[in-house]
Amino acid sequence: MKFFVDTGDINDIRDLASTGLLDGVTTNPSLIAKSGKQFLPLIKEICDVVSGPVSAEVAATDYDTMIREGRKLAGIAENVCVKVPLTPAGLKVCKELSDEGTQVNVTLCFSAAQAILAAKAGATFISPFVGRLDDIGQDGMQLISDIVTIYGNYPEWNTEVLVASVRHPMHIVDAAMMGAHVVTCPPDVIKKLYSHPLTDKGLAAFVEDWKKTGQSIL
């Protein structure tokens, strides 16, 4: 499974990239606004730090403007993945950019039917939002299971399932068990994967016992 971080904070991106755990980055207009930075220079800066896909989202909703924005974003760096909404115009842009060799992330997916359309349009990634479905009383992870199963029936489809709107570590574990290709998470959720009380307890005991020996490795 690939790990993408969902943020516009370049410091968090640099920190996670240094661990070797980071395979890519996803951004959206809300995250860019939160960063307080200019969009295009920030995407270029992120692409210089991360060699994997960096999702940069178009701002328009009509086809003509979206396609122009998508091509401009794709020109920033080779690893830019243009993010488009799952709308008729967005899927049209997806098809055209994909045919031109640009990676495309189709976002705001909330049904298996929508995911089928994205794969047919040649999307590199489909982004189902599990947390937002959970918020309205639906089972977000069931959607992931459905999409993974459907995509598995059609090996000619190359679209990867990118689990988005991840709220906690179990979303990641469940997605991995279902065979999802990618998860994108806020930095704090990725860092929570390290945590377990028995790890902390065991390490504390080892440190205390080592002190009792009076020895030093250095």
- 3-state DSSP of the chain: CEEEEECCCHHHHHHHHCCCCCCEEECCHHHHHHHCCCHHHHHHHHHHHCCCCEEEECCCCCHHHHHHHHHHHHCCCCCEEEEEECCHHHHHHHHHHHHCCCEEEEEEECCHHHHHHHHHCCCCEEEEEHHHHHHCCCCHHHHHHHHHHHHHCCCCCCCEEEEECCCCHHHHHHHHHHCCCEEEECHHHHHHCCCCHHHHHHHHHHHHHHHHHCCCCC
* Active-site residue list: 83
Gyration radius of the chain over CA positions: 20
C-alpha of 36 from chain center: 21
